[in-house]
Amino acid sequence: MYIERLLTPLFNRLFRSKLGRCIILTGARQTGKTTFLKKEFGSFEYHSFDEILERETLVKRPSRWWLLRGKHFIFDEIQKTPDFFGTIKSMIDNGPADLRIILSGSAQIRLISKIRESLAGRSVTLELFPFTVSELARTKNHFLVSIFNEGAREDVLDVIKKRSMALPTEANVLAVMDAEERILNFGAMPPLYHLSDEEEKWIWLKEYCNTYLQRDLMDLARVNDLNNFLRLERIASLRTGGILNYSDLARDADISSATAKKYINHLEISYHVFLIPAFRIRVKERLIKSSKLYFTDLGIQRILSGIKHGVTGQQFENFVISEIVKLGRTLFKNAEFYYLRTKDGREVDLLIRTSKGYWAFEVKGSRKVTTKDARHLLGLESFLDGPLLGSFLVYHGDKITEIAPSVYAIPSWALWL
């Protein structure tokens, strides 16, 4: 059964606009890029550069040959044929105004200089992530969408108040809770949702880490000895949600700080981790400056860390932050993500900056929260250069309450409802 992706409406809007003549779709391996394109654009002529013999044949064909076919095209695994980008440029420049070309490939596509040179100003890049709770539960207009749509504070708080009356027995609530539980347990890589056996899911995740992650590294860094990298990513998986310290990572992985930074950069480029930068606007001398590291997919983090059962506080935070960031990066290019931590101990896990102001999130993995848990969300305005539109304490419970003045405790499942 095909699961509709959140990217579909944006993709279709761009496809119909002048900006959509050439769209580049990238993301981690096995996130469903090919499935998405074949489903949503089945009328396009599809070609993959994955097989060597097919690749050699396709590359030899000039732009005129392609244009005479009078088709729209999908070129998959395009990162394997950088020389073909000149042909694509010629097709765009010389083809009809209604010509549409979709390029798909792994993360390495972001590093190919010929893309930057040939397609600068001629293409738009979109990202496809592992499934989100919203996609699995088929919810669309939840309160996070209101935030990213830059709704007024009153509109978003009105949505929250309505959600506070939702009953855990309602069908849509149960669907969201089920989707959340599935991602918390095994992550959200699409191939997992064709497997029903728990052991098969762990086997798939292990093989993914042993093959795709290593292949990405080989493609990106041309590293022959993977032992140092494997140690580094396992150590990083145990520090998800933590402030990134390259010296500590390097010491524990027995590599240099420069190598540790390079490996983290490759994990980020290949969409397996993402970094949340520190917020630095005012009172700079009081703020921590290093980024925080999170894994894009919790199943990958589990298999690397060896923590397969239960949900630690770090994993719950990783899940919530990852879901918010995936949603924001998929739908809303103008949202910016930060965390805030001062040298005297105040910490806010996530600040979302939009054109209208800031939204603050603190994440707790407990089933119950108290006013004390919300203390870091109070008085944030003095650190910000814009209005604070709302503050939320996200926890693993079941009730929405105003836990402190203008601070709402909200169960994680209610974020996606």
Tens-place pLDDT, residues 65-103? 999 999 999 999 888 888 898 899 999 999 999 999 999
Superfamily designation of domain 8-127: P-loop containing nucleotide triphosphate hydrolases (3.40.50.300)
pLDDT for 156 beyond 80: no
Residues 6+ apart with CB under 8 A from 167: 173
How many CB atoms lie under 10 A from the CB of residue 352? 22
Token digits for 105?
Answer: 């490939």
pLDDT at 47 over 70: yes
Query: Virtual CA dihedral for 217, 220, 223, 228, nearest 10 degrees?
Result: -40
Average pLDDT over residues 228-254: 94
Mean of the pLDDT values across residues 367-394?
A: 91
Residues with Cβ within 8 Å of 397's Cβ and at least 6 positions away in sequence, in order, are: 366, 367, 368, 369, 409, 411
Q: What is the mean pLDDT of residues 294-301?
A: 97
> What is the DSSP secondary structure assignment for residue 288, as one 8-state letter?
-
Using only the alpha carbons of the chain, give its radius of gyration: 22
Could you give the CA distance from residue 305 to residue 315 in angstroms, rounded to a whole number?
11
Distance CA 233, CA 127 (A): 23
Would you place residue 217 in the very low, low, confident or very high pLDDT band (cuts 50, 70, 90)?
A: low
Contacts of 413 (CB under 8 A, 6+ apart): 133, 173, 176, 177, 180
Alpha-carbon gap, residue 414 to 210, rounded angstroms: 35
Name residues whose C-beta falls within 8 Å of residue 361's C-beta, 6 or more positions apart in sequence: 320, 321, 324, 348, 349, 350, 351, 352, 391, 392, 393, 394
Which pLDDT score, from 0 to 100, does residue 34 have? 94
Helix (H, G, I), strand (E, B) or coil at 64: helix
SS (H, E, C) 351-397: EEEECCEEEEEEECCCCCCCHHHHHHHCCHHHHCCCCEEEEEEEECC
Tell me what pLDDT residue 344 has. 75
By C-alpha distance, which of 393, 256, 390, 280 is closest to 342? 280
Between 333 and 347, the more confident residue is: 347
pTM assigned to the model: 0.91
Other Cβ atoms closer than 10 A to 259: 19
Q: What is the pLDDT of residues 137-152, one digit of tens each?
A: 998 767 787 776 656 6
pLDDT of res. 299: 97
3-class DSSP state of 341: strand
Q: Helix (H, G, I), strand (E, B), or coil: what is residue 319? A: helix
The CA-based angle 239-243-244, given to 5 degrees, is 80
Q: pLDDT class for 282, splitting at 50, 70, 90?
A: low
pLDDT bucket at 30, cuts 50 / 70 / 90: very high
- CA atoms lying within 13 Å on the CB side of residue 220: 25
48 has pLDDT over 80: yes
Where do the structural domains in the chain lie, given as residue ranges? 8-127, 133-415
Q: For residues 244 and 238, what is the distance between their CA atoms, to the nearest angstrom?
A: 12
| Rounded CA separation 391/328 (Å) | 17
Tally of helices (H runs) and strands (E runs) in the chain: 18, 13
CA distance 314 to 319: 9
